[in-house]
Amino acid sequence: MPAYKDKNKGTWYASFYYENWMGVKEKKMKRGFATKREALEWERTFLQQKSSDLNMTFEAFIAQYVADMSGRIRESTWGTKEHILYKKLIPYFGAKKMCEIQSKDVIAWQNEMLNYRDKDGKPYSPIYLKTLHNQLSCIFNHAVKHYHLSANPAAQAGNMGKAKNGEMSYWTKKEYQKFAQAIMDKPLSFYAFEMLYWCGIREGELLALTPADFDFRKETVTINKSYQRIKGRDVITDPKTPKSNRVIQMPAFLCEEIQEHIKSLYGVRLTDRIFPVTKSYLYKEMERGCKISGVKKIRIHDLRHSHISLLIDMGFTALAIADRVGHESIDITYRYAHLFPTRQEEMANKLNMERGNF
């Protein structure tokens, strides 16, 4: 594994041959290293990655993981993942060899995350702690599945945090109507929240809507894309899941409202976004409406919960609701079980009658 000095520039470079995935020899060269040691270290890491040698450092494996996964994950999701990789994991595990990281190392890292406090003394939320651990576990699972790591030390250490923060928040119809009245002074805001509440769509789905998505004759809206603001760019992606691609039947009054809104947009084309704002705009309008109306503060996403709770209260089945909001019916049954009316007493009475028929 030699390294060479560039006499003209005074820097070092690595130059060597390796076998590619087809078994064919290829030449690899990289210039610009300040020292011979840096050039040799780069060559060693490169060859370890190519041979799946887990003597490589965690940081070197992350480079391989990124190369394997970055094109397979939604850009919006990758942004969150990337931040965790480089800000929360590499600073702690970066210099450790993949094959030497043990569950006790993961536990020590978990303890650091659990004990973290920001400048105001606030810890990480339980949901964020769980997200951090899940990302670390994903990396080791990738190494186990594709690079012959013997075991996942994050799985051995056990999880931290929890999937949900407290109870689900939602508005009753009366609360929503009070909120809607408060924001009617801004038509764009009013129509946006009308779509969120009465259709139960996600905020990214709302912000991606164009005139072409509506069929006012059939009173439907097609959900087939999602809007994200990523690194200062407007990005349109596929919906969150395949099930999220759906056609929603709209109430007649909402069709009339959205037609009014589209007509008010000067020069709007079929492919233009009819709500050309960002999620931060919706957050500010939510806060403003809550302050004016006096209704309790909930998240934008909780309007989706509010829509589902309204449908449950109206007597619709989990299957029908799931089809409308783009969930699996089992998810509706599990997540909203406490909202469905109980029929335990009716069941017991019928079972009693059956027993009496013997």
Q: Which pLDDT score is estimated for 93?
A: 95
Q: Is the pTM above the cut of 0.75?
A: no
Report the SS3 class of residue 29: strand
- 233 membership: H or E segment, kind and range: strand 233-237
Report the SS3 class of residue 184: coil
Q: Which pLDDT score is estimated for 177?
A: 96
Which alpha helices (H) appear in the chain, and where do they start and end?
Answer: 36-50, 58-69, 75-84, 90-93, 103-115, 126-147, 153-157, 173-182, 187-199, 203-207, 252-264, 279-293, 302-313, 318-325, 329-335, 344-356
- List per-residue pLDDT tens for the chain, 358 residues long: 678 788 888 898 888 777 655 567 778 888 888 898 888 888 877 776 665 567 788 998 998 888 888 777 776 677 778 889 999 999 999 999 888 899 999 999 999 999 999 999 999 988 899 999 999 999 999 988 888 788 899 999 999 987 665 567 899 999 999 999 999 999 999 999 999 999 999 999 999 999 999 999 999 999 999 998 877 888 888 887 788 899 999 999 999 999 999 999 999 999 999 999 999 999 999 999 999 999 999 999 999 999 999 998 898 888 898 899 988 767 777 778 777 776 667 777 778 887 666 5
Q: Which pLDDT score is estimated for 342?
A: 66
CA distance 72 to 75: 9
Q: Which pLDDT score is estimated for 167?
A: 60
CA distance 325 to 205: 11
Q: Which pLDDT score is estimated for 357?
A: 60
Report the SS3 class of residue 229: strand
